[in-house]
Structure 1
């Protein structure tokens, strides 16, 4: 029987509370927290991320352009972060679990396969309601005709990678933390 990894990995759209929940879970379990957003650029730079080019792309093509530029770096960062951090709570950036390119998606899917506790955080089981709640929280993220709240909520990647889904609407962060603790395997 293979060894199953008990780290907790939180995925989901921008503004769902992944970092807040990661902190609460880590405190409750007495383990460390690692936030992808805090370390991602270090990993990106290992494979020749070009910050000047990224800025140029963002200026010329908006968030949608930079989002596409980030994809290979995000897939690489997932593997690197998981290889370096064990026995902790990890919260991914929103894009680190959504891949339009099937090869990148499959790469991340293979890396996450041994992890039992991949938790998708969404506001509501009703996807349209989730999008509305996120738009209220973050003012909407639309670039070049792409609604990124809708994209992150509805894209198959998050749903296919998650082993559990937790809904936050109407709950205190501590209540959602407890929901996660009641679902996961430690």
Structure 2
């Protein structure tokens, strides 16, 4: 793999396949795999947040405003997971790389700066195709289209220029299985 130290980090919108790809890359490379969405609660708690508090806040102010208030906790979780798992493949949930507050984005960019690689995972090089595929996957796999209170979170995550700037490379999964994409990615990183 290229670079020294730090985890190999996968970023991208919901439905891009970060978790499945991360498991395959980790297994093939003999590295541990960490899905931030699965371990983030402990990190959120360190700064006074929890998913229960987020849901409660959403009920009061709506999803979009609550997501903005939750940004410090998400940024903290990214910094902590990267520091705690320097030899792992780490998948970051879509919300962990998209911020409205520049100070929170700066925390994440700093945390990702010394990572081995930050790989932006997308299904297609074409925006509309990616958005269509992501939406289909999210509805099929999670029962949600990510349009909340009139706001399209999938489009936000897909179009966020800061996410593209964080990445050291982009991989398009196309119609490949996670194992096929992992093999192709590892050959490129080799």
1:146 alignment counterpart: 151
Residue 156 (str. 1) matches residue 161 (str. 2) = yes
Q: Does 1:36 align with 2:36?
A: yes
**Retained in 1: the 8 A contact 2:99–2:105?**
yes
Alpha carbons of 1:39 and 1:109: their partners in 2 closer, same or farther (altered >3 Å)? same
Q: Which has the higher strand share?
A: 1
TM-score (normalizing by structure 2)? 0.89
Unaligned ranges ≥5, structure 1:
none
Corresponding residue for 2:142? none
Contact 1:18-1:121 at 8 Å conserved across structures: yes
| Ranges in structure 2 where 5+ consecutive residues have no aligned partner | 140-144
> 2 CA distance for matches of 1:144 and 1:181?
40
SS at the partner of 1:115? coil
Report what 1:113 is aligned to.
113
Q: CA RMSD in A?
A: 1.7
Q: Which residue of 1 aligns with 2:126?
A: 126
Give secondary structure in 1 for the equivalent of 2:116: strand
Q: 1:79 to 1:176 in 2, by over 3 A?
A: same
Q: Determine the structure 2 residue equivalent to 1:22.
A: 22
In structure 1, what is the Cα distance between the partners aligned to 2:46 and 2:119?
Answer: 28
Work out whether residues 116 and 163 of structure 1, in 8 Å CA contact, stay in contact via their aligned partners in 2: no
How far apart, in 2, do the equivalents of 1:7 and 1:53 lie? 29
Are the counterparts in 1 of residues 54 and 66 from structure 2 also a CA contact under 8 Å? yes
Q: Deviations over 1:138-186 (max 9, x none)?
A: 132111221011111110121010001001121111111112112225x
Kindly state the Cα deviation for residue 64 of structure 1 after the two structures are TM-superposed: 2.5
Post-superposition Cα deviations, 1:83-106, rounded to whole Å, max 9, x if no partner, equal 111211101111111112111111
